[in-house]
Amino acid sequence: MVLAKFDDLCEMPAEQFGAELKQICGCFDVEPTNSLDQIAGHISSRSKAGLDFAFVGQNANTVHRRGRNIRQDPGNHFFLVVQDRGVSRMSQADTIVDMEPGDMFLVDSTQASSFHCDNGPSMQVSLHLPRDEMLHRFGKRIKGGISIGRKDPLGQAMRSVLMELLDGKQQRQGHVAEALYGILGAFLLNRSLGEAGQPDPNRQMVNRALHFMSLYYADPNFSPAQIADLTGVSLRQLQRAFSAVNDTPHRRLQQMRLEAADQMLDRLQIGETRSVAATAFECGFRDLSTFYRQFKERYGCAPGEKLKLSHAMQ
């Protein structure tokens, strides 16, 4: 699955490539493969549904983000790096991963990292995830040095969502972006539970259900019964699977809707006319009293207060 069309790589000094990389991704040290201090490279960026993407192709030997780079440019993102073409080796913290097309790797811009490419050109798509927002959503579950293999079902779902975002044909891309966050959250939750090897059947069922929730939560008619049908099990089987992870399908679906509404309120700018009610309906709530009650229980304030606070901080 190729995510993006890259422009041809152009010969340039390694210093020039490093300067272009700094503008889009931050400060790195670029080490060429030859003694001429030249590399073949390309870097560009694009925004979709409020998300920033970088497209990086190059044949450098190594790209490092060292302590001095972080001091010059502290960074405020997690990068979800997708190996699109070629191969590479990425490392952060105690994790070293050989990347083939379809593999993904989460990088924390506040920590040292290295990227090695010594077998020809490598092309990657990097999704820039705002650090504060990711920590707000996922807490300690998200960190640098997390590998997401190309064969992982949730990794495959994430790549499918990225394809929808990048092809420019999706009319409701805001919801597609939330779907990506939902699937990433499911992966991080699954990982935090300490699974090794193949997940048990209950966990597999929950993962499939979370994928469909992420895609369809904005539909107010979407219900646990429909989730079970899409997942290929009975509603009772689905409820038992969620019970095994101390949750219920209904509670998780409502939580996903609340998180989407919270993020939407955070993004509203001063002067925008969208009401709290419109936000609730767009995120799948059909009953405003339920939305107001659940929002206050989860976030400690009414949605209108959250909106005022977001405006006050701008």
Better-scored residue on pLDDT, 299 or 254: 254
Res 227 pLDDT > 80: yes
Q: Does residue 155 fall inside a structural domain? A: no
Residues 297 and 232 in one domain: yes
CA angle 250, 281, 269 (to 5 degrees): 120
Q: Does residue 267 fall inside a structural domain? A: yes
Alpha-carbon 3 to chain mean position: 15
Give the count of domains, the chain. Answer: 2
Dist. CA 73–CA 131, nearest whole Å: 14
Better-scored residue on pLDDT, 94 or 122: 122
Res 256 pLDDT > 60: yes
Mean pLDDT of 41-47: 89
pLDDT band at 49 (very low <50, low <70, confident <90, very high): confident
Residues 125 and 16 in one domain: yes
Task: Name 194's Cβ contacts closer than 8 Å, sequence gap at least 6.
Answer: none
Largest CA distance in the chain: 68
Residues 197 and 291 in one domain: yes
Average pLDDT across the chain, whole number: 84
Dist. CA 115–CA 89, nearest whole Å: 6
Residues 103 and 230 in one domain: no
Residues 305 and 212 in one domain: yes
Better-scored residue on pLDDT, 171 or 29: 29
Q: Report pLDDT for 240.
A: 93
- Burial class from Cβ neighbours inside 10 Å (0-12, 13-18, 19+) for residue 79 reads buried
pLDDT band at 196 (very low <50, low <70, confident <90, very high): very low
Domain harbouring 310, CATH code: 1.10.10.60
| pLDDT tens by residue, 154-190 | 899 899 888 888 876 555 556 777 888 889 988 998 8
Taking the whole predicted model, whether its pTM rises above 0.75 is answered as no
Q: Does residue 186 fall inside a structural domain? A: no
Domain harbouring 57, CATH code: 2.60.120.10
Q: Which domain holds residue 27?
A: 10-149
Res 295 pLDDT > 60: yes
Q: Report pLDDT for 39.
A: 85
Do 92 and 144 meet the contact criterion of CB atoms below 8 Å apart?
yes
Q: Does residue 297 fall inside a structural domain? A: yes
Dist. CA 275–CA 220, nearest whole Å: 18
- Burial class from Cβ neighbours inside 10 Å (0-12, 13-18, 19+) for residue 269 reads exposed
Q: Does residue 1 fall inside a structural domain? A: no
Mean pLDDT of 31-53: 83
Q: Does residue 250 fall inside a structural domain? A: yes
Residue 61 amino acid letter: N
Residues 126 and 202 in one domain: no
Residues 203 and 288 in one domain: yes
Residues 21 and 144 in one domain: yes
pLDDT band at 274 (very low <50, low <70, confident <90, very high): low
Q: Does residue 173 fall inside a structural domain? A: no
Residues 68 and 128 in one domain: yes
Integer-rounded Cα Rg, in Å, for the chain is 21
Q: Report pLDDT for 262.
A: 85
Res 135 pLDDT > 80: yes
Dist. CA 84–CA 178, nearest whole Å: 22
Do 101 and 84 meet the contact criterion of CB atoms below 8 Å apart?
yes
Residues 96 and 213 in one domain: no
Q: Does residue 310 fall inside a structural domain? A: yes
Q: Report pLDDT for 10.
A: 85
pLDDT band at 209 (very low <50, low <70, confident <90, very high): confident
Q: Report pLDDT for 1.
A: 47
84 token code pair: 């699109």
Mean pLDDT of 62-86: 89
Residues 32 and 127 in one domain: yes
Q: Report pLDDT for 204.
A: 77
80 token code pair: 């979800």
Dist. CA 309–CA 268, nearest whole Å: 11
